[in-house]
Amino acid sequence: MTNLVVVWNGTGAAYQLRQSWSTSIPESKVGEVVTGSTVDGDVRDPHARPVPRKHPSYWLSGAVALVIAGLVVYSLATNEKLQWPVFAQYLFSAPILQGLWVTIQLSVVSQVIALVIGCVLALLGESKNPVFRAFVKGYVGFFRGLPLLVLLLICFNAALFIPRLGWGDFSWDTNTLISGFTAAIIGLSLHEGAFMVEIIRAGFMSVPPGQREAAQSLGMKRGLTMRAIVIPQAIRVIIPPTGNQFISLLKASSLVAVIGGGDLLTRAQQIYGSNFKVIPLLLVVSFWYLAIVTLATFGQHFLEKKYSLSAGPQKKQTKPRLEEASA
């Protein structure tokens, strides 16, 4: 007996298969979802995925890891020298929360300025002018090679070699303008901007040159080609490393404590400098850094998923169905 079997793949397309049957399909099986096995031992689901083989060693290694993690947590929780009551006392204290807010401000403002620097210099690097290209290479080479801590100290002590900023009557005392917070913004932005130039330039290079040539052959100017063709495609490549750089900047902002920028670590140092509770305050700082980095990681994951190369309207996948029609 010959039957016509129609299998839907879940996207609207259908496949027609003809096969000889020794017995007809029971009515109870008609329209059933095929799960990867067989219907009466004759028809297999062509879209079924193989089931991974289970290994007992996976469960064993997981149990060992769980036991070790439990022992570590228990040893830390019962260690009286960590002074957990002091940790709880300062976790949500006003000075710590103020320092946390300053840390977030430093990171966000510096990242925005660095992004602007990166965009401008990356576009200059695409220029035909050799002077612009040389300037971009010099900037990237200098600030990427200079340690961030040294750069922060130079910015904070700028008054030692630049007493006044401006010219003539329109000048101001450098110490008045550049505080610890301002010096931190300048240093972090310049340092991060050098990395953003390379990230954005790599995004531009990811777009095939043939697309630019095709746009120019249609009469599009260079600026319009960058705005309409290159940048929309490059942004998908730029976002993931930019997220990584922002997370690195969040952690690197702790170096601002060296110049007294008022960040989270600076406030913790001021507190344990008076009560000598060093370890509990450092645990508080560690907790808040882990918290904000975790939030930033989730945000990065969301952006990567939204702007990924395979992004697009995703329809919910439905399982194939099997129907019978006698031929």
The string of pLDDT tens digits covering residues 49-94 is 777 777 788 888 889 999 999 999 999 899 988 999 999 999 999 9
The values of phi and psi at residue 322, to 5°, are -125, 125
- Let me know whether 5 and 107 are in one domain: no
Query: Amino acid identity, residue 268?
Result: A
User: Residue 253: inside a domain, yes or no?
Assistant: yes
User: Residue 250: inside a domain, yes or no?
Assistant: yes
- Let me know whether 145 and 290 are in one domain: yes
> What is the DSSP track for 211-236?
HHHHHHHTT--HHHHIIIIIHHHHHH
- Let me know whether 17 and 29 are in one domain: yes
Whole-structure pTM value = 0.74
Q: Which residues contact 234 (CB under 8 A, 6 or more apart)?
A: 200, 203, 204, 206, 207
Report whether pLDDT(103) > 50. Answer: yes
- Let me know whether 36 and 184 are in one domain: no
User: Residue 254: inside a domain, yes or no?
Assistant: yes
Most confident of 77-81, 277-281, 312-316: 277-281
Label the pairing between strands 2-8 and 170-173: unpaired
Number of domains forming the structure of the chain: 2
- Let me know whether 66 and 91 are in one domain: no
Domain that holds residue 12: 1-78
The stretches of 126-164 forming alpha helices (DSSP H) are: 130-145, 148-156
Average pLDDT over residues 98-119: 95
User: Residue 143: inside a domain, yes or no?
Assistant: yes
- CATH number, domain of 191, equals 1.10.3720.10
Segment 175-233, tens digit of pLDDT: 888 889 999 999 999 999 999 999 999 998 988 888 888 888 888 888 888 888 888 88
- Let me know whether 64 and 180 are in one domain: no
Segment 138-179, tens digit of pLDDT: 999 999 999 999 999 999 999 888 888 888 778 888 888 888
pLDDT-based confidence at 326, cuts 50/70/90?
very low
User: Residue 26: inside a domain, yes or no?
Assistant: yes
Cα 42 from chain centroid?
49
